[in-house]
Chain A
Amino acid sequence: MADNNLQQAVAKFADQLAVKVSDFANDIATLEVYTFTTPPGEIPTFPDKPNLANLSQDAKTSTALRAYTRIAFDGDMVVWLPVNDAGVVDKSVWDLHQTMVQQAMDNRKAMLQSVSEAASSALKALGVAK
């Protein structure tokens, strides 16, 4: 019985990871990085991707979008630059945002590799076990 539980857990896990890796092929089309600022003590937690169109209507928080990058893997790129009160690009925020874009790209690559390996190993173990 315990044997079956372990096998089922691995089978379910492998199936879900395989679906994730498959979905990734659709999701990989774009990479988005958002940088917001908010008053101290009011850092909100978003449950999922923020909707840029609705953000200005958000009455619950005082969150302000400062920089945004959307990279499409056909080479198109959308960038919102942060500016200060004088309308000049805020270099400190921009530099940090660029660091985060690089971090996001590196993390995506590493995570895809790790998850693919985990799914592959789990499927191999399932295939070998009778």
Chain B
Amino acid sequence: MPETALQASLDPLGIWAAPPETAVAFNIGGSETRVPIRRIPLPSSSDEARAFLTAQARTVALTHQHLDRAARELALVGPPEQVSFSATDELLAQKNTLANTIGELCSPVPYAIQFKSDSEEQETRQGWLDLVEQVRQAVTHYARVRTELGSAPIGLTTVSWQGDLQTTWAASVGLDEMQVHLNAVQVALNSRMEMVRMVSVVAAGVANILLKAALPGGQWMLLPAVYKFVRDVLQQLRKPPQRKP
């Protein structure tokens, strides 16, 4: 996939407000190339930067829990004739949508998956393909994380997927700022890990449903539906709980 297409896709986990940028990289020999880089602009105060990163780390940790929940729910999905959900289930709408899709795919008559519109179906399908491409790139290329406090660069860390790590510090930065950069790197790496997990959860969910429900054809139509389920579950669980009247 061209880099521009990857950049245009939104973060399916909803952790980062902006997609990775590209930057010029210098070979030691002097040649230049463009590489993807996660630039993390932070408030100029170390305390505010730490608070922002703590909130981001919490979002990543919650995403981990929410993906676990989505995986558990997908493991419980069975054949359409065995579907029954509690009316008070916070994921009722998402489960109903997925169950309807599975029911339609199990039907011997021609089916039409229950997306709201063709554009939603296209968007979901493309979202899945973009996610797969992002994960593929994550294990193909080095992850680069660059932090800035205000407009001042602190450091740049490059990580191979095997874990080799190189960090370059701006010489004048203090220990506090260095720690902020290390925290930012950890948040970025953890969010990359959750992106990989999201693919696992979707693929394992599809495999589980296919094992339990006899689909006469179009098994791969299940993929965007399960991806949509996982994405919608993340969105739903991220919402603050509603107060009872």
> Contact check: which of A42, A45, A130 meets B37 at CB < 8 Å?
A45
Verify A6–B155 contact, CB threshold 8 A.
Answer: no
Verify B207–A128 contact, CB threshold 8 A.
Answer: yes
Interface residues on A, range: 35 or more
Output the residue of B125, B159, B168 with the most chain A CB within 10 A: B168
Number of interface residues of B (CB under 8 A): 70
C-alpha gap A18/B148 in the complex (Å): 36
C-alpha gap A117/B28 in the complex (Å): 36
Verify B182–A100 contact, CB threshold 8 A.
Answer: yes
Verify B164–A32 contact, CB threshold 8 A.
Answer: yes
C-alpha gap A60/B161 in the complex (Å): 27
> Contact check: which of B163, B179, B207 meets A124 at CB < 8 Å?
B207
> B51 interface residue, CB < 8 Å from A?
no
Verify A10–B132 contact, CB threshold 8 A.
Answer: yes
> B91 interface residue, CB < 8 Å from A?
no
Verify A3–B221 contact, CB threshold 8 A.
Answer: yes
Output the residue of B24, B26, B165 with the most chain A CB within 10 A: B165
Verify A46–B199 contact, CB threshold 8 A.
Answer: no
Interface residues of A (CB under 8 A from B): 2-7, 9-10, 13, 16-17, 20, 24, 27-28, 31-51, 54-55, 57-61, 63, 92, 96, 99-100, 103-105, 107-112, 114-115, 117-118, 120-122, 124-125, 127-130
Interface residues of B (CB under 8 A from A): 23-30, 33, 35, 37, 125, 128-129, 132, 135-136, 139-140, 142, 144, 146, 152-153, 155-173, 175, 178-179, 182, 185-186, 189, 192-193, 196-197, 199-204, 206-207, 210-211, 218-221, 223-224
- Nearest 8 Cβ contacts at the A-B interface: A108-B163, A121-B203, A47-B25, A34-B166, A121-B204, A36-B168, A129-B219, A45-B25
